[in-house]
Amino acid sequence: MRLAATFKRIGGNGLISVWVFFCFCSLTVAQPQHVEVKLNDKGEFRLFKNGTEFYIKGAGGTEHWEEVVKAGGNSVRTWSTDNAREMLDKAHSLGLMVMMGLWVQHERHGFDYDNEAKVKLQLEQFRKVVLEIKDHPALLLWGVGNEVDLFYSNTKVWKAVDDIAKMIHELDPHHPTTTVTAGLDPEEVKLIKRDAPNIDIYSVNTYGEIAAVRANIRNYGWEGPYLITEWGPNGHWEVQKTKWGTPIEQTSSEKAISYRDRYTNEILADSKYCMGSYVFLWGQKQETTSTWYGLFSEDGKQSEAIDVLKEVWSNVPMNNHSPQLMLLQLEGKKSHDSVELYADNRALGEVKFQDIDGDDCQVKWSVVPESNDIRSGGDAESKPLPVSGVIKRRSKNQVEFRVPNVPGAYRLFVEVYDNAGHYAYANFPFLVKERTADMPAARWLKVKTYSDDTWKVD
C-alpha cells in the first residue's frame, strides 16, 4: 500500500523509474545462487556456484559463525529448518553458504513409515518450507534427513526421502540434494541407490572410522560425489573404556592431532569424489561429557582444534595459539589405568601444559559425576553438576581434592585458559568405592591462607 501511494505521488516518468528500480532490487534480492555438481578440469567432482568451483570448508552448528569466516571456512550446516530464514540471512551477511537440513522424522523417535497419512503430511510440510526459502542467496544445498538409518528397521524411509528430494527438484532447479547416513554401510548405499535416485550427493557422518569412507564408498557401489557432513574426534562409542565401562575421552591436544590427520589424509586425500566437509561441533554441547564434541567452551573460548582448522582451511599462520595440554594424571596414574579411590580420601591430580605464546594461563579444576543421561544420535542430554566443596587446594599444575562420599563413577576435569580467548581441556574418569568398616575415618582440617581456604589431611 505504501509503495502504491509512492507511485501515485511521483507520477509520469518518476513512476517508471521507481518501478524499474523496484523490479531490479526485487530480482537482486530474490535471485538464487545456481549450484550444481560437475567435474572440474582435473576430473574431480565439485559443487559449482554460478559457474565458479566451490569446495566446502564447512562447520556444523548454529553459533559462532563469525569465527567460521575468520578461520577461512565458507559454509555452515543446519539440521532442521527452525528459524531457517533468520539463519540464511545471518549466513548471507557473513558471506557463508548453508547446507539447509530438513529434519526427516526418525523411526527411533516413534515415527511410523507405514503410516501413509503422516508420511504425506511430512512431505507437504517440507513443500511449504522449500517454497519459502528456495531462492535465498545463501542456500547451497538441501540436506534431506540426518541419520534416519540409526537404529531403524523400516526401510520405507528411503522412499520418503526420495519423495522429498523429488519434490525439491520439481520446485527448485538451482540446488542439489543430499541425505546423511550414520557412518558408511554397504546396505544403506544399496538402498539409497535403489529407493532414493533423486539424491544427488551421498553424505556421511563419521568419526574414528573416517578412513573407511574413502576406502570403501566406491566398493559399496556409490560412483558419484560425497560429503563428510560430521567429523571430529573419536566418538564416545569408539574409544577405550575403564573397567567399569566409562569411555575415556581424548584431551583437546590429542583431538587437535586427529583433526589435522583426518582432514589432510582422508578428506583432502579423496579429491576426486569428496567435495568437502562440515566439522562437528562448531559450538558446545553436553554429549557423554561437556567437552567431547564441541570446539568451543561454554563461554565461547576456542580449543586447539580450531587452530588446526584455521591452518588447513586458510593456510594462514596463527597469531596466537591455544594452550597445549600434554598430560593429566590422578594419583600418579593415567586414565587408562582405571583408577579407583575410596570415598572421603585425599586425591592428587596433576596437569602438564604449555602456551607457546607465553600467555598467562588460568587453570580451572572440577569434579563431576559421570553422566547417567547418555543418549544416541546426538539427542539432547542433561548435564551433571560439579560436586561442590571437594576441591581443597589447587595450583596451575596440581589439585588436591576430597574424594566424593557417594560411591560411583566421576571425572576430574581441568580447563586451561589463556588471555587471548583460547582454552585446553582434559578429564580423567575414576571410580569411588565405599569405605570399608576397618578403614579409619578420613579427617580434613581447615586452615586459613591469605588467598583461599586450603585443606590438609591430619
Q: Cα–Cα distance between 121 and 113 in angstroms, integer?
A: 12
Instruction: Give strand ranges (E) for 70-198.
Output: 75-77, 97-102, 139-146, 177-182
In single-letter form, the type of residue at position 373 comes to D
Q: What is the pLDDT along the chain (458 residues), one digit of tens a residue?
A: 333 333 233 344 444 444 444 344 433 445 899 999 999 999 999 999 999 999 999 999 999 999 999 999 999 999 999 999 999 999 999 999 999 999 999 999 999 999 999 999 999 999 999 999 999 999 999 999 999 999 999 999 999 999 999 999 999 999 999 999 999 999 999 999 999 999 999 999 999 999 999 999 999 999 999 999 999 999 999 999 999 999 999 999 999 999 999 999 999 999 999 999 999 999 999 999 999 999 999 999 999 999 999 999 998 778 899 999 999 999 999 999 999 999 999 999 999 999 999 999 999 999 999 999 888 888 899 999 999 999 999 988 999 999 999 999 999 999 999 999 999 999 999 999 999 888 887 765 444 332 333 333 33
Domains of the chain (ranges, CATH numbers) = 31-314 (3.20.20.80), 324-457 (2.60.40.10)
Q: What is the DSSP letter of 387?
A: P
3-class SS at 361?
Answer: coil
- β pairing state of 346-354 and 324-330: antiparallel
The edge-to-edge listing of strands for the beta sheet with 45-49 is: 35-39, 45-49, 52-54
- Residue 369 sits at φ, ψ, to 5 deg, of -60, 150
pLDDT for residue 378: 87
Q: What is the pTM of this model?
A: 0.89
**Is residue 12 left, alpha or beta, with left meaning phi > 0 and alpha meaning psi from -120 to 50?**
left
Write the DSSP assignment of 147-176 as a string of letters. STTTT---TTHHHHHHHHHHHHHHH-TTS-
pLDDT for residue 443: 60
